[in-house]
Structure 1
């Protein structure tokens, strides 16, 4: 078998994986708090016919070697946790994190999930939840006669309740951070789970230490840049076409050898 066929096949598979990531990024260009994916590649092992620097005679060594690569493979994908654009909504329950950190939510199985999407809502019991109905942690409950709610930059939640003339403090929104956020496991629904690669969550008050502040009436948009993704899409398309042409060329070479020799 012509080695070029195998090498080109690995190139086709790698570019297909890259296109999958680009298409997912573009599909989520308007998803609140979405973080774009990038695909990481590495070359495969090499066939060393002659090692670089081998002795060619008594007085000289070879300045280079004779090595043939065997293609490329996908090492993994990484989330780019750069800030997305801030979108002012003027909705009192919309909260954006300006900096590092994640909101904590209670998952359906009782475990803790993490999200950057701050489009919060209130359920029928007055509990503050995400758009999917997952309760925010630490849990916040708004009284039935709440008139106005205010969320400070440090996460302190206060509201005008009933006939009280002064705001009443209802609770504190905290954030968590990770040593390696790129190691979190994306679950869909703007949610992430802790993994061994991400490290343990570190909880803190917004605005303190390395944690970002909160902005009420604002949402963090997707960090996908459409122009960059379109350029990537064209580059991937051309690379895939070149690998496909390489497969065709290698096949023609094999046909020539088979029919001529």
Structure 2
């Protein structure tokens, strides 16, 4: 019976980790450019007693944090500071409290120091991995190769000044992972070299690639699995009680 219970408990622990990923995905379903978390690879470990394996088992997570690289739905917003990547490239960002990372988030804005930032305040970096500082401007344009252009006060109509280029790269998806801070980087924690392979569209915003309906169906399926494991534990308890009662019968 101990083996049956430990198997069920191990399954419940694995479901708990899946629930965490599912909750995180649903919480970020409306975040521009968010990449859906996928379950880690798993393994099992066994407790040992006097160098002998026992029925007591516990789940192990192996491998790196992986995510779906599927492109999210594109929405035409018409906002000049909204930018979407039309291919598989990533932008370079500098979080306020972390190392340089990759991102697909394109809801840009300007902070108090006239630097280009995304919707949560991460600095958007240039092809030289430096913050993009904007002069006073009345209009902004982003070309399809990521060039940032502004129309400055007093300039002739249609006369735009180049400020620099959005840094971008297209690393293989299997070479990327999500770090502990939730940001995308190489497996070793570094970022790939800038290759300026991004193809950009202005006035367009990429949504997350989380399908809320699929996540909810997955949630219901996990709930059923949890209930099955609880029933298994209760059944093991009943079998154990029945066995104890039989052992207690007078001979």
- What displacement does 1:200 show? 4.4
Instruction: Give how far 1:74 is off.
Output: 4.2
Give the Å deviation of 1:42: 4.0
Q: 1:74 to 1:248 in 2, by over 3 A?
A: farther
234-243 or 96-105: which moved more? 96-105
1:174 corresponds to which residue?
167
What's the CA shift for 1:217? 1.0
Q: Are 1:16 and 2:16 an aligned pair? A: yes
Does structure 1 residue 103 correspond to structure 2 residue 94?
no
**Secondary structure of residue in 2 paired with 1:219:** strand
Q: 1:213 aligns with which of 184, 187, 199?
A: 199
| Partner SS state of residue 22, structure 2 | helix
Structure 1: segments with no counterpart, 5+ residues: 47-67, 206-210
Cα distance between partner residues in 1 of 2:6 and 2:186: 37
TM alignment of 1:1-261, pairs within 5 A: 2-42=2-42, 44=44, 73-75=60-62, 77-109=65-97, 111-138=99-126, 139-144=131-136, 146-165=137-156, 166-179=159-172, 180-185=174-179, 187-188=181-182, 191-196=183-188, 200-205=191-196, 211-261=197-247
- Mark the runs of 5 or more structure 2 residues left unpaired by the alignment: 47-54
More strand by share: 1
Secondary structure at the counterpart of residue 234 of structure 2: helix
TM-score normalised to the size of structure 2? 0.81
Structure 1 residues 256 and 182 mapped into 2: Cα distance closer, same or farther (>3 Å)?
A: farther
Count of residue pairs the alignment pairs up: 231
Cα RMSD of the aligned pairs, angstroms, is 2.6
